[in-house]
Amino acid sequence: MHIHVEDDRTGMTVSTLKRALADNLYYIQGKDETFANLYDYYMALAYTVRDRLVHRRIKTAQAYFQKDTKVVYYLSAEFLIGRLLLNNLLNLGLYDQMQQVLKEVGLNLDDLLEREEEPGLGNGGLGRLAACFLDSMATLEIPAVGYGIRYEFGIFDQYIADGWQVEHPDNWLRSGNPWEIPRPDYMVEVKFGGYTEAAADAQGRVRTRWVPRITIFGTPYDTPVSGYGKNTVNTLRLWSARAGEDFDLHVFNAGDYTQAVAAKTFSENISKVLYPNDNTPQGKELRLQQQYFFVACSLQDIIRLYLRNRSTFDDFPEKVAIQLNDTHPAIGVAELMRLFIDEYGLDWDKAWDITRRTFAYTNHTLLSEALERWSVNLFGKLLPRHLEIIYEINFHFLNEVRAKYPNQPEKLARMSLIEEGGEKQVRMAHLACVGSHTVNGVAALHTELIKQELMRDFYELYPEKFQNKTNGITPRRWLMLSNPELCRLISEKIVDRSEAETTAHPWITNLDELRRLEAFVDDPQFRAQWRSIKQSNKNHLADYILRSNGLEIDPNSLFDVQIKRIHEYKRQILCAMYIITLYNRIKANPSLEIVPRTFIFGGKAAPGYFMAKMAIKLINSIGEVVNNDPDVAGRLKVVFLANYSVSLGQFAYPAADLSEQISTAGKEASGTGNMKFALNGALTIGTLDGANVEIREEVGADNFFLFGLTAQEVMDLKAKGYKPLDYYNKNAELKQVIDQMSSGFFSPKEPSLFMSIVESLLNHDEYMLLADYQSYIECQERVSEAFRDTEQWTKMSILNVARMGKFSSDRTITEYCRDIWNVEPVPIDLEAYSQDKAGLRIQRATEMA
C-alpha cells in the first residue's frame, strides 16, 4: 500500500498545517498552549506560511540561476506593502485550509490577522505602486527583485489632537518581523565623504581612487513576494545600515561614552526613519545619504549576482534591467559608472554605453519643486567622486546638445545636469533622463505633459526614449482582499464551474473578464445583491468610525470619500469649502432637503508641510461645528480617519459611494486611489487630471462626474494673469465661505487661525481652487441628483467595476516587460515532496539570490 507523506514545512493539507503550526509555536516561539497569547499564535502561523514561501523562493532562485534569465531590479525609496499574512494565504491557496486548522484548535483567523504590524515603508502612491508592481511581477512569473531601505521607523503614526496632526514614531519592528530573512553574508560596504586622488592600477593606468571619510555597511533583509496561484516567489530586499565598528573600546575606557558609539549612531541613522524632515540642512544631508546608501548597496548586489557565472560585463544590459522609481534612486547612474570605471576597470565609453542600456526611469511628478535637486556643495561633501562623474557626464552630454543645437546657450542652460545660479545644484531628473534608455510617464496625460512641458528639451533631443505606462493596481489586494463578498458575487456571475477548479476567482489575473458583468446590469436581482454588499461594507466602516472617532454616522447616507496624502494640489480644501457651502445653505433654510452625506477624509501631511497640516486642522474644525449643530443633524457629518494606511484603505475603498479625485488638472501624475475606488464600485467626481482621463474614457462619460478647468485651460489662465480675487468678489456663496474661514467662525478661540489659508487663496491660489469652485459645486449637485435614483446609481457602479480591466497592474507590468525591460516569464515547477530527496546533498557551493 502506498502511503503519501507530506513534509511539515511544505505540505498543504489541514493535518500537516496543524502539525506545522504546533511545531512553530513550540520551537520558534518557545511556548505551548499553556503560555501562548494571540501574538504567539500569529507568529507561529506566519512562520508556517513563510516555510511554504521559502520552499518556493529557493526553487524560484534555482530556476533563475539555471536558466540564466534576465532579471528586473526595481529600485524604490518606498514599498508600502501592507500586511502580508492574509495576502500570502490567498496567493498560496491556503486560506480555506488555514481557516479549518484554526477552527479545529479554537482560534479565529481574524483575531490573528489583527496582531500583524503593518510596515509603514512608504508615504503614499509611490510606495503602494511599487508594492503592486512586485505583486504583479510574481503573479506574471517575471524574474524580479525589489530594492529599498529597511526603515527602522516607517511613516509616522498619526494622531489627531484638538484637530491637529501629531506624529508619533512608527516602531513597526518592535515585536519582530516573521516575514524577513536576514542575509548578513551579502553585507556590502558604502562610503561617504573624504576626497579623491589619482592612483595607478595594476596595469599602470591612472585611475581615480576615492578615499572616504567614513565607511558603513549595508545588511540585506529579504521578504518573499508571492504570486497569486503561481509557484513564483520573488524577493523584496531591504537594506539596513550599520557601522563598520559599532563600539570604540579605547574611547569608552577613556570615559567618553557618547563618542564611543558615535559611528554606530551615525550609521544607523541612515536607515532609521522614512523621509526625515528635510527643512534643515541636516535633514537634507540625511535624505541624500539614504538615497545613496540603498542605491550603492543594491548595485553592488546586482553586480555580485551577475558575476556568479560571468567574468565580463559585455552581457550586462541583456541580463539586467534596472528601473528607477522616480528620482530618489537616480544617483544610481553615477554610482554604476563609478563601479564600472573605478572598481572594475572599464573605460568611460564602454561603461557609459552599458549604463545607458541598463537603466530606465519612471517620472512620477509634474511639480517642478518635487524634481529633486541637490546642492553641489552638499554633493561634493558627501559624494566627491560622484560629483566628478556627474560633471564628466554633463561635459559629454552638453557637447552632444551643442552639436545638435549650436548657438543656443539658453537651451544648454536648461538641459545641463547642473543648475547654475545663486547656489549650484545637481538636477537628478536630468541625470536619470540622460543615463537611461527609456523615460516613462504614468498616465497618458502625464506623459504628454512631460514631453511638451516638463522635459520638452529632452523629448526633442531623444524622442525615442519617451513612453507612457499608465499605472495600475493589483486586484488581489484591492478587490479580493478588500472586498471578498463582491468578489464572490462577481465569480458567481462570470466564472464557469470548470474554471473555478484551479482558483476561486480566475478572472483576478485577467481583469478584462470583468466586462462580462455588463450582461447583468439590467438584472434587478443582481443590482439588489450589489447594493446589499455595498451597504454591508458601509456598515463595517460606520462601525469602525464609531470605535475610532466616537462619532455615529448614517450608513445610508452618501459616503463622500477623499483619502490620500494631504497636499495643496490634491485640494482637500476645495472639498472642505463645499461642506461649508452645504452647511450655509442648511443654516439659511433649515427645512432644505438635501441628500444626506458623510464626508470622510484621511491622509498624512509631511511633518514639515505647514499648509497641509493646516488643511487637516481646517477639516477637523469644520467637523467640530457641523457635527454638533442640531440644524444639520442627520444631513451632514464630517469624519477625519487618523493614521491612514493600506489596511485602513482596505476598509474605506469598498465602502465609498463617491470618490473625490479633484486635483488641479495637470498636477497629478496618475493617481491610483482613483482606480481602487472605481474597482470597488464608487463613482468618481474629478477633473481631467492624471489617470482620471483614462478612467473616464473606459467607464464612459455618463458614469463619471466631470468638473473644472482642463490642464491647457489652467496654463492659459495663468499665462493671461489669474486673479483669484475676481472669483471671490463675484460669487456670493464663495465669498461667504472664505469670510467664515477668515473671521474665526470655525476657530472662535483663535479667530485668525486660518488666515494663512485665506491669504494663500486670495493672493495666489496656486492650485486654482477659486477658479474651479463653482464648477465643482454644480457637479456635486449632479451627484446628489444621481444618488437619489438608486437603481441608476447601482447601474453606474456596476459599469465602473466592469470597465476597470485596463487598470490592473498586471497590464502595466506586461507593457513594461514588452516595451522597456525585454523580459520573459519564467514558470517555476514545484516537485512534490519525497523522502528520498529530503536529505542534504552537497555537490558544489552556489550562491542563490
Catalytic residues: 364, 564-565, 570, 672, 676
How far is it, in rounded angstroms, from Cα 846 to Cα 843?
9
How far is it, in rounded angstroms, from Cα 147 to Cα 324?
10
> Residue written as cell 528586473?
72
Q: Answer whether 338's CB lies under 8 Å from 638's CB.
A: no
How far is it, in rounded angstroms, from Cα 663 to Cα 659?
12
Angle at 343 between CA 216 and CA 425, to 5 degrees: 70
How far is it, in rounded angstroms, from Cα 516 to Cα 513?
6
Angle at 81 between CA 19 and CA 669, to 5 degrees: 160
How far is it, in rounded angstroms, from Cα 754 to Cα 738?
10
| Of the candidates 550, 509, 783, the residue with the CA atom closest to the CA atom of residue 656 | 783
SS3 542: helix
How far is it, in rounded angstroms, from Cα 303 to Cα 181?
21
SS3 370: helix
- Residue 514: phi and psi, rounded to 5, are -60, -20
Please give the grid coordinates belonging to residue 18.
496543524
Question: Between β-strands 418-419 and 164-168, what pairing exists: parallel, antiparallel or unpaired?
Answer: unpaired
Give counts: helices (H), strands (E), the chain: 34, 23
CA atoms within 13 A on the CB side of 349: 0
Residue 481 CB neighbours (<10 A): 20
CA atoms within 13 A on the CB side of 623: 27
How far is it, in rounded angstroms, from Cα 180 to Cα 2?
38
| Of the candidates 582, 613, 585, the residue with the CA atom closest to the CA atom of residue 598 | 582
Based on its alpha-carbon atoms, the radius of gyration of the chain, rounded to whole angstroms, reads: 28
- Chain-centroid distance of CA 587 in Å reads 41
Query: Is the Cα torsion angle 609, 612, 618, 624 positive or negative in sign?
Result: negative
Residue 32, class by beta-carbon neighbours within 10 Å (0-12 exposed, 13-18 middle, 19+ buried)? exposed
Helix (H) or strand (E) run with residue 47 in it: helix 38-67
Own/partner long-range contacts of 243-247 (Cβ < 8 Å, ≥24 apart): 243/216, 243/217, 243/267, 243/268, 244/189, 244/214, 244/215, 244/216, 244/217
How far is it, in rounded angstroms, from Cα 220 to Cα 302?
12
How far is it, in rounded angstroms, from Cα 380 to Cα 75?
24
